[in-house]
Amino acid sequence: MTIRYPNGRAFIPKATNQKRGNKQLSYSNRGMTLEEDINETNEYYLIHGKAVIHKKPTPVQIVNVDYPKRSAAVIKEAYFKLQSTTDYNGVYKGRYIDFEAKETRNKTSFPLQNFHEHQINHMRAVLIQNGICFVILRFSLTDEVYLLQADQLFPYWDEQDKGGRKSIPKTAIEQLGHSIPINLHPRIDYLQIIDKIYFN
């Protein structure tokens, strides 16, 4: 099945296994992705009545379906109908929460190309409505996770169009953001950071 972005470019999922020479490398034991960790965390919050936060589904328009037999249909081609906003939204202690989750293999900075202009515009709109908006960033090589408030991200985004750097230095993220330790349950307890920022 081929899934395409609104511009027609094919969506290529990230590979979970890679080959080096004749060896098959498996990353299955290297821990879950950031998205999987956050999904597990949100499920924990829901089960324990702490918050209701879900990953937003991306609407897809199906354009080509094959019917190899009457009882089954196989989707051959589909397009993402709309540009997505951010990854997650929900409610916590009566406040609307909206955030994006990104990870990088860079060691010293977080590339701004990981974000899109429509996502930044969406985050600005959330803040205007007094929502809680942030990004969760993971440096995957060191397995470090940070929560960075959206208004701390905007200056770096805006400066790149004025000749500024195309990434956020890790030192700035360490200074402006909040480190989130990786635990067993919940995996990435970002609500403890939200409590410190907004509910103290």
Report the first-to-last Cα separation within the chain, whole angstroms: 49
Local confidence band at 74 (pLDDT 50, 70, 90 cut-offs): confident
pTM, 2 dp: 0.74
**Fold type of domain 31-57+84-198:** Trna Endonuclease; Chain: A, domain 1 (3.40.1350)
- Give the helix/strand (H/E) hosting 41: helix 34-47
pLDDT of amino acid 163:
87
Please tell me the predicted confidence (pLDDT) of residue 60.
67
- Per-domain boundaries in the chain: 31-57+84-198
Tokens 């960075």 correspond to: 148
Please count the residues of the chain. Answer: 200
β-strand 72-80 against 23-26: which pairing, if any?
A: unpaired
Tell me the pLDDT tens digit for each residue of 120-135. Answer: 999 999 999 999 999 9
Closest CA to 115 of 157, 75, 149, 144: 157
Query: Which own/partner pairs from 113-117 qualify as long-range (CB within 8 Å, at least 24 positions apart)?
Result: 113/166, 115/153, 115/157, 116/83
